[in-house]
Amino acid sequence: MVSLSDLKRINDYEWEIPTKVNENMQVPVRIFATRKLLESVMEDQSLQQAVNCATLPGLVGHVVIMPDMHQGYGFPIGGVAATRYPEGVISPGGIGYDINCGVRLLSTEIMQDEMTAYLEDLASALNHFCPSGVGVKGRLRLTDKDLEAVCREGSLWAKKQGYASQVDLQRTEESGRMEGANPTSVSDRARQRGRDQLGTLGAGNHFIEVEVVDQVFDPQVASIMGLKEGSLTLQIHCGSRGFGHQICTDYVASFQNAVKRYGIHLADRELVCAPLTSPEGQAYLSAMRCAANYAFANRQVLAHYARQAFEQTLAGKINNWQLNQVYDVAHNIGKIEWHTVDGELMKLCVHRKGATRAFGPGNEELPEEYRAIGQPILVPGSMGTASWVLVGSEQSMQRSFGSTCHGAGRTMSRAQAKKKIYGEDLRKSLQAGGIHIRAGSLSGLAEEAPEAYKNVDEVVETVIQAGLARKVARLAPLIVVKG
Amino acid sequence: MVDTSLSGFEEKEHTADCKLKVWGQDFPQLLTMAAVGMYALMGLQLEKEPRLERSFRIAFSDPEDLLVSFLNELLYYIELEELGFDRFELKIDDRELTARVFGSYIASLSKEIKAVTYHNLKIEHSSRGLEAVIVFDV
């Protein structure tokens, strides 16, 4: 068990677990956190899991941990681990079961004061148009041919079906389509699970929110993104649904044998991995990209449904009710990227598990309109609390493989949250605070109560002070739709 | 009917996911309690009729591998056929499980489990027979 005394303080926002803590560590662990945030995770397994992760073969630099860290299964949530390509490994558990879980933000020109009378209707319309909840299927039934097209094309498939504009695609990480996604690497089971779940939100911590921009920190950058104080936004948080869950399940199982074949010793079986260039590693990379493309298409179809809800509720009543894509980012993903480590430019496989890509200004991966300002970063808060829009910095490229935090981060177990908080009380209290709630399950609502999470403002302040990102705007929730 | 004095399950604390301790006198009973416990975590309720039966086989390399695969198989039935089971006939030889499971369609379900993980999973002998702690991604 790692204790605070094992940590070396770099500054108020940065700590290190040196390799001497565990003889199998290949690289140190670098943690971005205040002392208070660090202390909040000392009772769970986050740091031990980070140390376990640092024992994987082929790692370079540091294993990086963000301030929203919490215990996961295998890798901690809020972790970034980069292995050298081609000699390093890829670990499905380092990406997670919900492959390309991520966040999409859309802006509007609607001002809060003109919307008051329509918020209740809009909440109902979003709930109606956007399928959500445990076991809820979508309106689409994909043939195997359609599903393969979704795997290969992601958001481009959605555009061909009339669910997306060219701007939507441009303003999505990877333009909503990861290359190298071959559906032959996807099992029949994953295909079966994927056929009727495209265009669904799911349950758990996934949500659709309407927010108001309540504070702008950088008006020039906010204006480039279409964000204005007092205007409304819409945020979608979800991933690749059962399709991605099954792909990860399949490969975590098959990699149990791969580690034996390649003589890889692990601190935890959930960390199973395979060399990037091995047949197993290549097959997983391909399947993972299929799931990532499915998730991009999923958020795109949901954005289309949200646009229908806005049109039905607001057309003819409010001018300029349209939803414009700001950006869409993944926070559970593995990417082949180039980074400079110890002065050397390296091709790496960057695992982000509960961490958001945060490329700084000038990066050619970014759409032209964002190249000068850096990549938009979307950090959703816990339910009923603020969300943040940030931009990536040069320092994130140097210190965290171009990554930053992905949310508030849980601090209380679901069981504990349900014991302490009654769903109905929470619903009433959120409604009293002016938030319109549509939730499939009251116990599910209680599990996601704000008290079960860290303070997102504190998490964001930490990455800002650490230099990993810059503040653009803060969003306050008005409508929350959950499964 | 399962004898809960000799076998059972208990939800344990986990910051983000769900953790379940399960125990049973022997391996088939451990698997059965893991299934019952997972269904309980999900708030799964079954319809009374019609009663349905399914059979499947799972090849495995070690007991932990079988525990994960068995539960993932049940998750697959939930999602694909909307089926849950309340009676289990499990035969295990060295490398394969043969299962006949009996149940019905799902009447209600309150929580989604994305997957069963191998995280720190170890089936251990105890005074109650066998026990394990399973972490589920939710």
* Beta-sheet pairing, A207-216 with A231-238: antiparallel
pLDDT at residue B3 greater than cutoff 60 = no
Is the CB of residue B112 less than 8 Å away from at least one CB of chain A?
Answer: yes
Residues of B in contact with A134 (CB under 8 A): 42, 109-112
Residues of A in contact with B111 (CB under 8 A): 134, 203-204, 441, 443-444
pLDDT at position B92 is 97
pLDDT at position B7 is 84
Cβ <8 Å between B109 and A135: yes
Residues of B in contact with A72 (CB under 8 A): 16-17
pLDDT at position A161 is 98
The two three-digit tokens of residue A212, written as one number: 């108001």
Best residue in B13, B15, B123 for a mutation probing chain A (most A CBs within 10 Å):
B15
pLDDT tens-digit series, residues B23-57 = 999 999 999 999 999 999 999 999 999 999 999 99
Say what the alpha-carbon torsion angle A239, A243, A247, A250 is, to the nearest 10 degrees: 130
pLDDT tens-digit series, residues B50-79 = 999 999 999 999 999 999 999 999 999 999
Angle at B45 between CA B42 and CA B49, to 5 degrees: 150
Cβ <8 Å between A204 and B69: no
User: Is the bond preceding residue A86 a cis peptide, omega within 30 degrees?
Assistant: yes
Is the CB of residue B82 less than 8 Å away from at least one CB of chain A?
Answer: yes
* Beta-sheet pairing, A89-90 with A102-111: unpaired
pLDDT at residue A384 greater than cutoff 90 = no
Alpha-carbon dihedral sign for residues A206, A385, A444, B74 = positive
Beta strands in chain B (DSSP E): 8-12, 18-24, 45-46, 52-59, 83-92, 96-108, 115-116, 124-126, 129-137
The two three-digit tokens of residue B122, written as one number: 């170890």
Kindly identify which residue of chain A lies nearest to residue B13, measuring between CA atoms: A413
* Beta-sheet pairing, A403-404 with A436-439: unpaired
Q: pLDDT confidence of A418, banded at 50, 70, 90?
A: confident
Using CB atoms, pick whichever of A44, A134, A242 lies closest to residue B110.
A134
Cβ <8 Å between A248 and B80: no
Instruction: Name the percent of chain B lying above pLDDT 70.
Output: 96
Mean pLDDT of A136-146: 97
Q: pLDDT confidence of B4, banded at 50, 70, 90?
A: low
Cβ <8 Å between A72 and B138: no
Cβ <8 Å between B138 and A412: no
pLDDT tens-digit series, residues A448-481 = 888 899 999 999 999 999 999 999 999 999 999 9
Cβ <8 Å between B68 and A253: yes
Residues of A in contact with B121 (CB under 8 A): 269
pLDDT at residue A416 greater than cutoff 80 = yes
pLDDT tens-digit series, residues B115-134 = 999 999 999 999 999 999 99
Using CB atoms, pick whichever of A71, A245, A441 lies closest to residue B14.
A71
The two three-digit tokens of residue A225, written as one number: 């993104």
Instruction: Name the percent of chain A lying above pLDDT 90.
Output: 91
Q: pLDDT confidence of A445, banded at 50, 70, 90?
A: confident
The yes-or-no answer on residue A245 being catalytic is: no
Marked catalytic residue, from A304, A339, A351, A406: A406
pLDDT at residue A190 greater than cutoff 60 = yes
CA A237 to CA A329: how far, in whole Å?
A: 10
pLDDT at position B5 is 62
Cβ <8 Å between A413 and B13: yes
Cβ <8 Å between B64 and A269: yes
pLDDT at position B15 is 82
The residue whose two tokens read 């979800």 is: A238
pLDDT at position A458 is 96
Kindly identify which residue of chain B lies nearest to residue A202, measuring between CA atoms: B112
Length of chain B, in residues: 138
pLDDT at residue A193 greater than cutoff 80 = yes
Kindly identify which residue of chain B lies nearest to residue A440, measuring between CA atoms: B110
